[in-house]
Amino acid sequence: AQKVTQAQTEISVVEKEDVTLDCVYETRDTTYYLFWYKQPPSGELVFLIRRNSFDEQNEISGRYSWNFQKSTSSFNFTITASQVVDSAVYFCALSEPFGGGYNKLIFGAGTRLAVHP
C-alpha cells in the first residue's frame, strides 16, 4: 500500500538557519508523482512542487530546494536561510496512479515549521 511518512512532527529554528524537512514514501508503482504543499497559518494549501518518478534531478527555486532519491524513497525539502514567513505546516504527498484519470493524493501527516526571529 502507498504511504507517506513525515517523521518530524515539529521543527523550530531561528531565522536564517537552514532546515530540511524529511519525506519518505512507499509505493509499488514505477510511475508516480510526489508533491510538496505548504499550509500557512491562514489555512490554505499552497502547491510548491511536483516531481515525477522518472525525474531524479534535484530542483532549486530561490531559497527552496528538493532532493529526490529513489534509492531511499525520499523526497526531502530544504529551506535555505529560513525566514519567519516560512512558518507553516508542510505536507509531502504521493499521487497514487490508477487507470482512467483517477488521481488520489496520499498525504503525510505534515511537519510544522516554526521560524523564530
Partner 1 sequence: EAQVTQNPRYLITVTGKKLTVTCSQNMNHEYMSWYRQDPGLGLRQIYYSMNVEVTDKGDVPEGYKVSRKEKRNFPLILESPSPNQTSLYFCASSLWGRDTQYFGPGTRLTVL
Q: Is residue 36 exposed (0-12), middle (13-18) or buried (19+ Cβ within 10 Å)? A: buried
Residue 16 CB, nearest distance to partner 1 (Å)? 29
Which residues are registered as beta bridge partners of 5? 24
Residue 32 vs 86, nearer CB to partner 1: 32
Q: Hey, what's the torsion of the CAs at 13, 75, 36, 53, to 10 degrees? A: 170
**CB of 21 closer than 8 Å to CB of 87:** no
Residue 4 vs 19, nearer CB to partner 1: 4
**CB of 76 closer than 8 Å to CB of 92:** no
Residue 107 CB, nearest distance to partner 1 (Å)? 4
Residue 117 CB, nearest distance to partner 1 (Å)? 26
Residue 54 CB, nearest distance to partner 1 (Å)? 13
Residue 4 vs 115, nearer CB to partner 1: 4
Catalog residues that contact partner 1 under the rule CB under 8 A. 4, 33, 35, 37, 43-45, 47, 50, 91, 93, 95, 97-98, 100-105, 107-110
Using the structure block, give the residue that is written with the C-alpha cell 514514501: 25
